[in-house]
A and B are shown apart, each in its own frame.
Chain A
């Protein structure tokens, strides 16, 4: 190794401080705390009790499994809903409109989740805009219960996360040379064949990085499940929130947080392995 100048250390030290103090140490603290138990005398001892609570109490691990499966489902839904849009904006619509239409996609992202989730709450209420509209045109007689169900929660999760998937898919599609599709079409390939054999393989990196972002946003979300979901749509983050801010059982909360971290990392690791991608690419 060649000798490093002082500039190198000037760059290294702030980054090292950031990563060690704010990323590594807090998560080590989280892990240690999850194995601690406060005895009746107020002493902290090593214990697996916090994890036992999780496995013994059905509601905890059921919520855990449900959150995992639901997040995968919403991620898939986000792909199905937004892929045609990404394709339309990069390959179908005239260049004149695509810039403006892409801009419209970014606005809800920057407005922020809380405001858009609140908007859906107003839309989906019993006396909300959608029920009012459906009753006005005579399609239904009494309001349909939409808010505080799994349906409203799914809408909220989808809405706040799906746009983060479009951008990486669009940049992947942008670099796909049109002549590949033209050539396949000239050789008589059907639309489905072109889609499966050319477009999907080519855009896999974009789909995977977008999918990971969506999955992380959904599995770690608190606002949409809490505001739009009902009693039946518990989310695992809500359990962590309750442990920390309602029952003040930080040790159990830490165990739950650590389990959530393990869960999301494992699913992402599997997704990366299955598709042959690297985390470094997700960033770009």
Chain B
């Protein structure tokens, strides 16, 4: 059953076949898109008509490659900006939340912690419409009562950032909080007894200790933002993020450029994961 116990050959062979099938299931859609990105065809699926880089570089009436399509490049750029801002803000607030809930004692802490975790159990669609409603209400109120018009309260780039930030902070809080649980309070006590202020302790001792987790959380928040669709769709204005753009293309105008974009995403993520894996293994 486990490594140290004797196992029947039938059991272990059957088990291995299952695992193999599972990994085939896992990798099949990714391999398919990657291969078809180089298909010399005007349709997204088979048959295979030969190798071509058209869907990356072509600029003809029939074929518009990924790197020649201004709309697509713009949505990639929008997603990169959104991802960076969301990661930045949610890393700051998520880290502060982790410090607050792990190290401070105060009334209503349980309730606030529950609220901070709640994005885990709120469907993304519901979060999207709630924030849309709230922002619209606030926008109408401000315009009617104060006569000022705040553009970001209508669906827009910044509303997407705000919406994604609202749940990405939870993930940052959990990732940083997990590392904070391993923090030795003696270090802080030593610094405090040497007359460091609480803020100095956080800045000079706790934050450096948390740095790997904070960097990791930043990357995670970026990736969540970059691929989010369910919340974003309700908040997006005239500048779509990449998932929103891809969704519209899948529904209404599928060309193999979709395969090319997917190929870029798959290879980038795989490469990044491999590099990260190699670095971590060398450390051990």
A and B found bound together: yes
What is A's interface to B at a CB cutoff of 8 Å?
A: 1, 4-5, 7-8, 10-12, 14-16, 18-19, 22-27, 29-30, 33, 81, 84-85, 88, 91-94, 99-101, 103-108, 110-116, 118-123, 125, 127-129, 132, 159, 178, 181-182, 185, 191, 194, 212-213, 216, 219-223, 226-227, 237, 240-241, 244-245, 250, 253-254, 257-258, 260-261, 264-265, 268, 279-280, 282-284
Say whether B199 contacts A33, CB under 8 Å: no
Out of A88, A178, A282, name the residue touching B120 (CB < 8 Å). A282
CB of B21 to closest CB in A, whole Å: 10
Say whether A30 contacts B133, CB under 8 Å: yes
| Chain A residues near B118 (CB-CB < 8 A) | 23
Known: A8-B104, A81-B22, A91-B3. A18 touches B126 (CB 8 A): no
CB of A148 to closest CB in B, whole Å: 13
Q: Which residue of A lies closest to B48 (CB)?
A: A132
Say whether B133 contacts A29, CB under 8 Å: yes
Q: How many residue pairs at the A-B interface have CB separations less than 8 Å?
A: 256
Known: A7-B202, A112-B265, A223-B247. A279 touches B121 (CB 8 A): yes
What is the interface of chain B mostly: helix, strand, loop, or mixed?
Answer: helix
Known: A25-B134, A26-B130. A88 touches B15 (CB 8 A): yes
Say whether A15 contacts B262, CB under 8 Å: no
Say whether B33 contacts A132, CB under 8 Å: no
Q: Which 3 interchain pairs have the tightest Cβ spacing?
A: A220-B123, A112-B227, A119-B29
Task: Please report the C-alpha to C-alpha distance between residue A4 and residue B32 in the assembled complex, in whole angstroms.
Answer: 58
| Chain A residues near B133 (CB-CB < 8 A) | 26, 29-30, 33, 250, 254
Known: A30-B129, A280-B117. A22 touches B29 (CB 8 A): no
Say whether B230 contacts A223, CB under 8 Å: yes
Say whether A132 contacts B19, CB under 8 Å: no
CB of A101 to closest CB in B, whole Å: 8
Q: Which residue of B lies closest to A15 (CB)?
A: B97
Q: Which residue of A lies closest to B125 (CB)?
A: A237
Out of A114, A216, A237, A250, name the residue touching B121 (CB < 8 Å). A216
Say whether A115 contacts B97, CB under 8 Å: no
Which of B62-70, B107-115, B144-152 lies at the binding interface?
Answer: B107-115
CB of A205 to closest CB in B, whole Å: 15
> What are 14 A-B interface contacts by the 8 Å CB criterion?
A7-B198, A16-B112, A91-B1, A91-B3, A92-B2, A101-B23, A104-B27, A112-B265, A118-B33, A119-B28, A121-B250, A159-B29, A178-B3, A237-B123
Known: A220-B123, A284-B178. A115 touches B2 (CB 8 A): no
| Chain A residues near B277 (CB-CB < 8 A) | 99-100, 103
Task: Please report the C-alpha to C-alpha distance between residue A119 and residue B22 in the assembled complex, in whole angstroms.
Answer: 16
Say whether A244 contacts B123, CB under 8 Å: no
| Residue B215 lies at the interface, judged by CB distance under 8 Å to chain A | no
| Residue B182 lies at the interface, judged by CB distance under 8 Å to chain A | no
Q: Which residue of A lies closest to B131 (CB)?
A: A26
Known: A132-B46, A244-B129. A118 touches B246 (CB 8 A): yes
CB of B4 to closest CB in A, whole Å: 6
| Residue B58 lies at the interface, judged by CB distance under 8 Å to chain A | no
Task: Please report the C-alpha to C-alpha distance between residue A227 and residue B258 in the assembled complex, in whole angstroms.
Answer: 14
| Residue B119 lies at the interface, judged by CB distance under 8 Å to chain A | yes
Identify 19 new A-B residue pairs, CB closer than 8 A, beyond the known A100-B277, A122-B32, A128-B45: A11-B99, A14-B92, A23-B116, A26-B134, A81-B22, A92-B3, A99-B281, A103-B277, A107-B270, A108-B26, A108-B30, A115-B262, A121-B250, A128-B46, A212-B121, A223-B230, A227-B247, A241-B233, A260-B126
